[in-house]
Chains A and B, each alone.
Chain A
Amino acid sequence: MTRAVEVRDLVKTFGRTRAVDGADLDVAPGEIHGFLGPNGAGKSTTIRVLLGLLRADSGTVRVLGADAWHDAVALHRRLAYVPGDVSLWPNLTGGEAIDLLSRLRGGVDRTRRDELVERFALDPSKKCRTYSKGNRQKVALVAALAADVELLVLDEPTSGLDPLMEAVFAELVTEAGAAGRAVLLSSHTLAQVEKLCDRISIIRDGVVVESGTLAAMRHLTRTSLDAVTASPVDLTPLPGVHDVTVDGERVRCSVDTEHLDAVVGALHAAGLRSLVAQPPTLEELFLRHYATAEARS
């Protein structure tokens, strides 16, 4: 089966800036894929190339099996897009903007549209210029989610939504996934990504540095341990142990996942009284990636 998104060695430069510098990205059909990275990493640029709005300098970019640049128009019937900063026509109402975008994509499913308007609690009779940021975002979301498409491309779609509306959004994305739609979701809301996404890719300085399921990524990282032992134990000499703090019989540290066995063995030998092990949160995972990105630049 063809991949929903297949990017190989994509390069996109703006003058001297190398916004995307050899990125690879894969989204399987029906998969909800998180696309993460620090500000300016190249997420929006990659997405705009996927949509045929920007032309790749080099590399292959295939969406739903077709070329993103040459087959853009035909492709766009099969996908829907929501940008992070929605700008609308000031003298159109929200409802008109939704209908216009839907018609341009090929038609409006009225029941679906009305249902979404209701779920997002949007007043479609207001002029776009009077909408708050979150409401403008909702207009774009309704137009995109009402469409019967195979792929949703969402670039920070929930920036500006209140928590209630974010929950509605999460439900709708889950429903889209269940209906077999692929979703590419760029977001800085890690909890949302953690909850929704089957797989994630992390881009940094224009290069995708990690890609896989969250579980697999966690495996590559550290687990934090908080243990109380009968007698004090010195974990520092063991390989793969970091950030050790000792407080009497209590010891805290983080351990590379592949060395977990040895460390737990050492704790056991010291007479384990209690042990709390925590997998790294997505947050920690990212902070590490983002921090190295910062150190490099």
Chain B
Amino acid sequence: MSATTGLGELVRLALRRDRVRLPGWIGSIVAATAGTAASFPTTYPDAQARLGALMTIDNPGTTALVGPLYGEGDYTYGIMVGHQLLGMVAVVAALMSIFTVVRHTRAEEESGRAELVRAAPVGRTAPALAALLVAVGANLVLAAGLTLALGGLGIETVTWRGSALFGAAVGAVGLVLAGVASVTAQLTEHARAASSMAGLVLAAAFVVRATGDVSVEGLSWASPIGWAQATEPFYADDGAPLALALGLAVVLLAGAVVLGRRRDLGSGLLTARPGPARAGSALSGPFGLAWRTSRGSLVGWTLGVFFFGLFYGPILSESSTFLDNVPVLEEFVPDVEASVAELFAAMIIAVVAIICAIPALQTVLRLRTEETSGRAGPLLATALSRTRWALANHVLALLAGAVVLTAGGLGLGLGAAWSMDEPSWVGTATGAALAYLPAVAVVVGLGALLHGWVPRAVGAAWLLVVVGFFFSYFGELLDLPQAVLDVSPFTHVSQQPAVAFEAAPLAWLSLVALLAIGLGLVGLRRRDLLDA
């Protein structure tokens, strides 16, 4: 029996299990990308309008968020697609790859299902390889889909060649992160930790790229996202940098195989140590339990978001110096009241806010995992009421949101205060970030509502996060009607410090969030507990 016996069967099994999930990922990525690209000619009908777009977008803040500008002054529709969309689409493809790989490797081991599979005539490396093949396949299909969808738009400057390169660049980043996830899946015993570690690598790749594009010459070459953007689709159309990505993916895969050979099924590289034989006083209720089970991940998020903000702080100061040198640009800055640094701070804080919704929502989704793992049954067979159980968890989710928001604002504020020598930034940025708490609470509320009434579909709450991301990146760019933008709770928050604080929307959002949580609890009291 070779190490890869059973590979075909396992790939088929994984595809069968992902028959809805993967087409969903790929379909939405392709649709969102092509839809955005298709809207450019309507939003910017002539050269004049494109020049205007170029002026507003050619600044360090935007560069840090989406990537470096390229082309020589003519901001064609093609370059718009390559410049504004490539980085974000690549990040989403990377997330798809991470989740796919971890779901079919470490999550399977953690659940014990892998044991059944490996006891069959199945080779030692077959499961990891199968997961990776599925991820590779998904990225290939995604690349092909993007090529066809973009090329098929028939926009003159959105060429077939560029479209193919755009698709390939996105797929290449996906492949690298699939490789990263196969390695992290070997390191830890828990699927969630494996995803988080790979996610951290992705975040690092993003921040390195941002720093490189804005201030440190050449640093972007240390990031796979930088490689993708170095292809300059629809302009230079240079595929060479992608070779780096493919090389790295192969190295990571080999590393994962080597690590996988060295360890036992189900184990990680770290072994568990014994702990206290009695519970401390903190572990006496549902809140203590929720905290114990999520504290590792929450501490990780807090630190991660703090450093994310800290990295962006100096970019704020870059952006204000930048504008001082090119005073004519002032005209293109929409809000005359605000300084450029304030505008960019508002943009970054808006993005940070949506990132902060992720750990908050994860905390809510933990409830469903508690049910399906069979842990909730014995818990709720004690004198613990369902309401108290869920509410403790929702409260932790809201607290997590508040803490992570504060960390992000504080990081950005400290970075800005330090680089611009203006201490007032600390308070400004932290306050502006915290103002998003009601919006994060609405995401938590949707999670709670779904958990109460349709627990199997609770994952749909992620849509609100995805929509939030999409709108805060492309909402204004696409000139979407306000009614559509209003779907995202994040667009209701006044974008401090660029514009003044408004209390009314926050009150509304808080009310909606509380209502949703309350309704969710009502639903939870009426339904069956999910089965193990």
| Complex: A89 Cα to B289 Cα, angstroms | 9
For residues 80 through 108 of chain A, which have their beta carbon under 8 Å from a beta carbon of chain B?
Answer: 80-83, 85-93, 95-96, 98-101, 103-106
Q: Are B383 and A76 in contact (CB under 8 A)?
A: yes
Contacts of A103 in B (CB 8 A): 279, 284-285
- The interface-forming segment of A49-57, A177-185, A279-287 is A49-57
Given contacts A54-B529, A55-B528, A100-B279, contact A127 B272 (CB under 8 A): yes
Please tell me which one of the listed residues B275, B283, B383, B385 contacts residue A105 in the complex, with CB atoms under 8 A apart. Answer: B383
Interface size on B, residues (CB 8 A): 37
Q: Are A100 and B283 in contact (CB under 8 A)?
A: yes
| Complex: A293 Cα to B243 Cα, angstroms | 64
Q: Are B382 and A105 in contact (CB under 8 A)?
A: yes
Q: Are A125 and B276 in contact (CB under 8 A)?
A: yes
Count of A-B contacts judged by CB separation below 8 Å: 121
Contacts of A140 in B (CB 8 A): 378
Q: Are A99 and B381 in contact (CB under 8 A)?
A: no
Q: How far is the CB of B403 from chain A (nearest CB, A)?
A: 20
Contacts of B274 in A (CB 8 A): 93, 123, 125-127
Q: Are B275 and A93 in contact (CB under 8 A)?
A: yes
Q: Are B278 and A86 in contact (CB under 8 A)?
A: no
Q: Are A104 and B285 in contact (CB under 8 A)?
A: yes
Q: Are A92 and B381 in contact (CB under 8 A)?
A: no
Name the residue among B286, B383, B385 with the largest chain A CB count within 10 angstroms.
B383
- Interface of chain A: mostly helix, strand, loop or mixed: mixed
| Complex: A100 Cα to B379 Cα, angstroms | 9
A77: interface (CB < 8 Å): yes
For residues 175 through 212 of chain A, which have their beta carbon under 8 Å from a beta carbon of chain B?
Answer: none
Q: Are B292 and A89 in contact (CB under 8 A)?
A: yes
B106: interface (CB < 8 Å): no
A242: interface (CB < 8 Å): no
Given contacts A99-B283, A106-B383, A130-B272, contact A81 B278 (CB under 8 A): no
| Complex: A60 Cα to B109 Cα, angstroms | 42
For residues 56 through 84 of chain A, which have their beta carbon under 8 Å from a beta carbon of chain B?
Answer: 72-74, 76-77, 79-83
Q: Are B377 and A83 in contact (CB under 8 A)?
A: yes
B213: interface (CB < 8 Å): no
Given contacts A48-B377, A77-B383, contact A124 B277 (CB under 8 A): yes
Contacts of A250 in B (CB 8 A): none
A129: interface (CB < 8 Å): yes
For residues 479 through 503 of chain B, which have their beta carbon under 8 Å from a beta carbon of chain A?
Answer: none
Q: How far is the CB of B272 from chain A (nearest CB, A)?
A: 4
| Complex: A101 Cα to B382 Cα, angstroms | 7
Given contacts A73-B384, A87-B374, contact A125 B528 (CB under 8 A): no
For residues 265 through 293 of chain B, which have their beta carbon under 8 Å from a beta carbon of chain A?
Answer: 272-280, 283-286, 288-289, 292-293
Contacts of B272 in A (CB 8 A): 126-127, 129-130
Q: Are A125 and B277 in contact (CB under 8 A)?
A: yes
Q: Are B283 and A96 in contact (CB under 8 A)?
A: yes
Q: Are B528 and A54 in contact (CB under 8 A)?
A: yes
For residues 120 through 139 of chain A, which have their beta carbon under 8 Å from a beta carbon of chain B?
Answer: 123-127, 129-130
Q: Are B278 and A96 in contact (CB under 8 A)?
A: yes
B526: interface (CB < 8 Å): yes
Q: List the B residue with the shortest CB-CB distance to A117.
A: B277
| Complex: A76 Cα to B380 Cα, angstroms | 8
Q: How far is the CB of B355 from chain A (nearest CB, A)?
A: 25
Q: How far is the CB of A176 from chain B (nearest CB, A)?
A: 17
Given contacts A83-B377, A89-B289, A106-B383, contact A53 B284 (CB under 8 A): no
B28: interface (CB < 8 Å): no
B190: interface (CB < 8 Å): yes
| Complex: A76 Cα to B379 Cα, angstroms | 10
B263: interface (CB < 8 Å): no
Please tell me which one of the listed residues A74, A129, A143 contacts residue B189 in the complex, with CB atoms under 8 A apart. Answer: A129
| Complex: A86 Cα to B375 Cα, angstroms | 7
For residues 219 through 273 of chain B, which have their beta carbon under 8 Å from a beta carbon of chain A?
Answer: 272-273
For residues 217 through 274 of chain A, which have their beta carbon under 8 Å from a beta carbon of chain B?
Answer: none
| Complex: A180 Cα to B526 Cα, angstroms | 33
Contacts of B373 in A (CB 8 A): 87
Chain A, interface residues (CB within 8 Å), range:
35 or more
Contacts of A104 in B (CB 8 A): 284-286, 379, 382-384
Q: Are A95 and B190 in contact (CB under 8 A)?
A: no
The interface bits of chain B over 495-532 (1 if a CB of A lies within 8 angstroms of the residue's CB, else 0) are 00000000000000000000000000000001111001
Q: Are B529 and A53 in contact (CB under 8 A)?
A: yes
The interface bits of chain A over 26-66 (1 if a CB of B lies within 8 angstroms of the residue's CB, else 0) are 00000000000000000000001001111100000000000
Q: Are A91 and B529 in contact (CB under 8 A)?
A: no
Q: Are B284 and A101 in contact (CB under 8 A)?
A: no
| Complex: A52 Cα to B384 Cα, angstroms | 12
Q: Are B277 and A95 in contact (CB under 8 A)?
A: yes
Please tell me which one of the listed residues A48, A76, A86, A89 contacts residue B382 in the complex, with CB atoms under 8 A apart. Answer: A76
Q: Are B284 and A100 in contact (CB under 8 A)?
A: yes
Given contacts A48-B377, A53-B377, A100-B284, contact A87 B279 (CB under 8 A): no
Q: Are B283 and A87 in contact (CB under 8 A)?
A: no
| Complex: A54 Cα to B272 Cα, angstroms | 35
| Complex: A146 Cα to B349 Cα, angstroms | 52
Q: List the B residue with the shortest CB-CB distance to A140.
A: B378
| Complex: A89 Cα to B275 Cα, angstroms | 13
| Complex: A104 Cα to B283 Cα, angstroms | 10
The interface bits of chain B over 377-400 (1 if a CB of A lies within 8 angstroms of the residue's CB, else 0) are 111111111000000000000000
Q: How far is the CB of B522 from chain A (nearest CB, A)?
A: 14
| Complex: A98 Cα to B382 Cα, angstroms | 12
Contacts of B277 in A (CB 8 A): 93, 95, 124-125
| Complex: A153 Cα to B279 Cα, angstroms | 25
| Complex: A96 Cα to B293 Cα, angstroms | 12
Name the residue among B189, B284, B375, B382 with the largest chain A CB count within 10 angstroms.
B382
Contacts of B276 in A (CB 8 A): 93, 95-96, 125
Contacts of B190 in A (CB 8 A): 90
The interface bits of chain B over 274-314 (1 if a CB of A lies within 8 angstroms of the residue's CB, else 0) are 11111110011110110011001000000000000000000
Binding site for B on A (CB under 8 A): 48, 51-55, 72-74, 76-77, 79-83, 85-93, 95-96, 98-101, 103-106, 123-127, 129-130, 140, 143, 153
8 A/B residue pairs, CB under 8 Å, sorted by A: A48-B377, A76-B382, A85-B374, A96-B276, A104-B384, A123-B274, A124-B277, A124-B278
Extra 19 A-B pairs, beta carbons < 8 Å, given A92-B292, A100-B288: A74-B383, A77-B383, A81-B381, A82-B378, A83-B374, A83-B532, A87-B374, A87-B375, A87-B532, A91-B292, A93-B277, A96-B275, A99-B284, A100-B284, A100-B289, A104-B285, A104-B379, A106-B383, A127-B274
Binding site for A on B (CB under 8 A): 189-190, 272-280, 283-286, 288-289, 292-293, 296, 373-375, 377-385, 526-529, 532
Q: What are the 10 A-B residue pairs with the smallest beta carbon separation, nearest first?
A: A99-B279, A81-B381, A104-B382, A95-B277, A87-B374, A93-B275, A96-B279, A53-B529, A124-B277, A125-B277
